[in-house]
Structure 1
Amino acid sequence: MDRAKESIGHTGTDRRVPWLSLSVLVLGAFMAILQGSAVNVALPQLMAVFNATPDEIQWVLTGYMLVTGVIIPVCGYLGDRFGYKRLYLLALAVFILGSALSGFAWSVNSLVAARVIQALGGGMIMPISMALLYQLVPVEKIGTALGTWGLAMVVAPAIGPTLGGYLVEHFGWRLVFYVNLPVGVLAIPLIALLLPETRRRDGLRFDFPGFLLAVAGCFTLLLALSEGQDKGWGSQYIVTLLLIAGFTLILFALWELIAPEPMLDVRLFLNPVLTVSTVATGLAAVALFGGVFLVPLFTQTVQGYSALQTGLILMPAALVSGLVMPFAGRLFDRVGAVPLGITGLGIVAVTTYMLHNLAIDLPARHLQCILAVRSAGLGLCMMPLTTAGMNTVPVHLVGRASALINTIRQIAASFGI
């Protein structure tokens, strides 16, 4: 058989959505994203326990973000070469190992090292699960399936502070990491049993120059975005990082245009639908993760709420997302992405603007209403826009497109934070 011509597209005769298999993909994605927002609320306790400075403890987040940004671009190649099911199992196993080591950490340095291991797995979970979804689900049901899968992206960041706050206040910071272990122990055998084997391209060559350029560009850009606020955006350090990032990413794009087997096929952006979809979801990601980061910071440091109280303020937004996203997926299958995208992005723009003028005496109910409406807008636009773009990609390039989209989304999320 000529493996080079194989794709990961759905080829079966069953036109139903495999909900049990889809739920396993949602579980893995939910766990990875939940961890990020849950760890945020544990940082004050980590500073106290390890007697660490804010700059030192920031690397618990920064280290994870940098490694995630580096590993996402190579996911498409790894999935095509070794099979997406195998890679997903490996990603979950590495993520669980990193979680266990994080919970066992005895110093800031050991925690940062464990978080790097965790990120190697966590960074692969979202792009690989998206590619697997296209292998499992018939094309005409993709909107519904992605709407359900997308719950992880919007609901997990809202639930994370509640769960993290409860665990930190009642059990300590270590359980924030250990809580992943039973979920992983459940998810890994379910994936092995429920997900079909995916095809591989044995003769695929690794784009080593493209990989090095992508690593250098993404690493320096994300590092600059992470430290720009503290170091000063006009400082020589940050300006140098941004110049290196810009230069290497331009070289990366040029190389990928001429590479015989590019790691990230930037020619996909010649597809106008995919380009508009990626830009629009990138803007939504800026709003989503900016709010996830800034709202808890405001409620805890300015208004004096506890981590658990902050989580409860965010909870209605998570519930709204849980209701809206599957509904939006079904609507997409009927009316398409344009009306949902315009409506959702409009709501996000208005409610995000409302968040820029928060006052110390703002009632919690008022903030909850803003966040809930904003969450509805995000739920309406993010997955329909993603689906519209991905549906125009040839099935044999779905894995590469997923890696490309998630790389852009990771960078956009860093801009938001």
Structure 2
Amino acid sequence: MSDHSKDAGGTGPAVRPGVNRVLLAGIFLALSLSIVDGMVVSIAAPTMAADLGLSSAGIRWIVNSYTLARAATFALGGRLADVYGPRRVLLVGLTIFVAASVLCGFAPQGPAATPWLVACRIAQGAGGGVMYPAAMSLVVGEFPVHQRGRALATLFGFSQLLSALGLPLGGWLTSLTWRWVFWINLPIGVAAIALIAMTRSRNDTRMRVSQDLKGAVLLAAGMTTSVLALEQAALLGWSDPITLALVVTGPAALALFVFWEARTPSPLIDIRLFRDRAFALDMSILFFSTIAYMPMLFFASFYAQLALRDTAVQAGVYLLFFQVAYSVGAQFGGQVQDRVGVKPALLIGAGLGAAGFALWAVELSDLSVGAQWPFIALAGAGVGLVVPPAATDAYGRAGPEASGMVGGVVQTTRIFSGALGLAVLGSAFTDVAQARVTSTLVGLGVAPGAAENAAWQFVNYVDDDEGDRLPDDVGGIHLTSGIQEILRADITTAHQWVFMCMALATALAFCCALLHPGSRPTKTHPNSAGDAPT
């Protein structure tokens, strides 16, 4: 008989008793590390920039290099999990992640800071990218298909809840030294490694297939150059030769990747998966919802510290409303999915998310957390209702033997869209903020050329004074407290544009949800009947 146990009330996902609970605990810690890291670094970013002398473009690349490295290695991690077994790949990825985290904490001050941190963040992201699909493959193997919605929702929900608690913790660690934001990963990572290493999994099988390194290189090159093109356009303009070269190279590399994957006998990503309409729409929904979700963490943190004058700890509490609501939404979405299918959860979630981001954007000018928190929570609950159900439905569209590959596709889609969203919204924020500040300074009698130069300096300035991060002087122009308040409003307006774009992205996810067939996956769990493999 199968050794999955049934809970008495039938209300929660059944999990194999004994040692696999230890495995799931280790996976929970590992995934929480990967999720929390991107968030707490956003909280620590202003302090890091001031301490190390980083430019605003440099700090964005420190955030984005991690995101891109994860996106570039998710698909490869999924394939490696299928080839070598997910448990082994998870342990290797987790070890790389922890080692790179420690090195991030030793970043030197001065000109070497940016390349040091970017290199370490790339290694950290690669470790996280490899371990994520391996972890998902292990979890999928522990639950039958009709219980995966609640199981993965529980895992996502608790991971996000831990992330939420990690935000104020990250702020507190930053108040000691931003370096502890990275060093805290060492004890947690060691505990996760120990828990995973002492267990076995029924889904730790190997496949005799090639690793498709050529596909991995093309995918990494295409995603990296596509995002780099947007970053360069924001700095140098669209007519710059380097920008134009990147604009051509990125899509070309991605097109070559698709061409290669469609013809290689052992693809990194089986393009035929996208022939399934539901799977393709799941990926589209994840793409648009993550364009809003991941950049939100970065922009909301900076808004709290620049516009609301919050400390790093207070900025973490500000984001707590979103993360707690996300966890609640994820739990509800998993239950809805298991009972009536995925489409209702997707429609409700994307609708609530779009409304929440739009209302949040309107209230940003209020500069009051009391006025904003209901809409922050509405956006968080909406995204929580969308992301785990869409990911779970995608996993169910392929057999268990391809769970590693599907995990790579799901996470590659999410992380690439997050990096793309951060680049696009970052460029939009800079353009709007500079235009608003330039107009304000010209209205105060500053010559247009000098105003434009001062606006550029102002928008790219980050100061480490607690409670007031605006400069007193830019481009030879003294900024009185009254002028600072006007310019603070200009920065807030730029944030409003960005959050409206997030609402638009979530609305596009809603449109995709309308087209979703809503049918349940037909693939069955290998152990839903009969004995479990040994």
Alignment CA distance shift 1:145-1:240 (3 Å): same
Match of 2:417 in 1: 412
**Match of residue 267 from structure 1:** 272
Equivalent residue number for residue 504 of structure 2: none
Counterpart of 2:119 in structure 1 is 113
Q: Deviations over 1:121-149 (max 9, x none)?
A: 11223222111111122222101111012
The whole-number CA distance in structure 1 between the counterparts of 2:29 and 2:324 is 17
Structure with more of its chain in helix, by fraction: 1
CA distance in 2, matches of 1:137, 1:209: 33
C-alpha change, 1:386 and 1:69, in structure 2 (3 Å) is closer
Larger Rg: 2
Query: Residues 223 and 250 of structure 2 are in contact (CA less than 8 Å); yes or no, is this contact kept in structure 1?
Result: yes
State the aligned residue count. 405
Structure 1 segment 45-84 matched on structure 2, within 5 A: 45-84=47-86
Equivalent position amino acid for 1:14 in 2: H
Structure 1 window deviating more from structure 2 (76-85 vs 110-119): it is 110-119
Tell me what 1:96 maps to.
98
Alignment of 1:228-307 (within 5 A): 228-233=233-238, 235-307=240-312
Question: Does residue 128 in structure 1 map to residue 134 in structure 2?
Answer: yes
Tell me, yes or no, if the aligned pair for 1:168 and 1:175 is still in contact at 8 Å: yes
Counterpart CA distance in 2 for 1:152 and 1:30 is 9
Q: Distance in 1 between matches of 2:232 and 2:349?
A: 31
For 2:366, what is the secondary structure of its paired residue? coil
* Structure 1 stretches lacking a partner, 5+ long: 1-10
Name the structure 1 match of 2:45.
43
Question: Is it true that 1:364 corresponds to 2:364 in the alignment?
Answer: no
> What do you get for the CA RMSD once the two structures are aligned?
2.2
Query: How many Å separate the matches in 2 of 1:280 and 1:184?
Result: 31
Cα 1:32–1:152 change in 2 (3 A) is farther
Work out whether residues 161 and 327 of structure 2, in 8 Å CA contact, stay in contact via their aligned partners in 1. yes
d(CA) in 2 for partners of 1:111 and 1:39? Answer: 12
Cα drift, residue 398 of structure 1: 1.5
Pairing 1:167–2:165 present = no
1:3 is aligned to none
The code of the aligned residue for 2:342 comes to A
* Superposition deviation, residue 361 in structure 1: 2.9
CA gap 1:222/1:73 in 2 versus in 1, 3 angstroms:
farther
Distance 1:358-1:87 versus aligned 2 partners, 3 A rule: same
2:156 is matched by which residue type in structure 1? G
Q: CA offsets per residue over residues 357-388 of structure 1, 9 Å max, x none? A: 34443321122111111111112221112212
Cα 1:350/1:234, change in 2 over 3 Å: farther
Q: Does residue 347 in structure 1 map to residue 337 in structure 2?
A: no
Deviates most, 177-186 or 11-20: 11-20
Question: Per the alignment, do residues 60 and 238 of structure 1 end up closer, same or farther by CA in structure 2, a change over 3 Å counting?
Answer: same
Q: 1:117 to 1:414 in 2, by over 3 A?
A: closer
Q: TM-score, normalised by structure 1?
A: 0.90
| Stretch deviating more after TM superposition (183-192 or 229-238) | 229-238
Structure 1: distance between partners of 2:237 and 2:160: 31
Consecutive unaligned residues of structure 2, counting only runs of 5 or more, are: 6-13, 423-534
What residue is the counterpart of 1:209 in the other structure? 214
Q: Which residue of structure 2 lines up, in the alignment, with residue 186 of structure 1?
A: 191
Would the alpha carbon gap of residues 161 and 233 (structure 1) be closer, same or farther in structure 2, given more than 3 Å must change? Answer: farther
Q: Deviations over 1:24-46 (max 9, x none)?
A: 22221111111111112222222
Q: How far apart, in 2, do the equivalents of 1:368 and 1:382 lie? A: 21
Contact 1:68–1:119 (8 Å) recurs in 2: yes
Distance 2:163 2:420 in 1: 16
Q: Is the 8 A contact 1:38 1:160 kept in 2?
A: yes
Q: Equivalent residue for 1:150? A: 156
Deviations 1:318-377 (A, max 9, x none): 222333322321232111111111000100111122233344433211221111111111
Q: Which has the higher contact order (CA 8 A, sep 6+)?
A: 1
User: Which secondary structure does the structure 2 equivalent of 1:204 belong to?
Assistant: coil
Asked whether the equivalents of residues 229 and 247 of structure 2 are also in contact (C-alpha less than 8 Å), the reply is yes
Q: CA contact under 8 A between 1:100 and 1:181: conserved in structure 2?
A: yes
Could you say what secondary structure the match of 2:416 adopts?
helix
**What is the CA distance between 1:154 and its match in structure 2?**
4.4
1:175-219 Cα offsets, whole Å, 9 max, x none, are: 111111111111111111234161112x32232332232122122
Secondary structure of the structure 2 residue equivalent to 1:69: helix
| Aligned partners of 2:81 and 2:133 also within 8 Å | no
The correspondence of residues 312-391 of structure 1 with structure 2, limited to 5 A, is 312-391=317-396
- Find the counterpart in structure 1 of residue 482 from structure 2: none
Residue 17 (structure 1) aligns with: 15
* CA deviation string 1:216-242 (max 9, x = no partner): 212212323444433445644333212
Q: What's the secondary structure of 2:362's corresponding residue? A: coil
Distance 1:179 1:287 in 2: 28
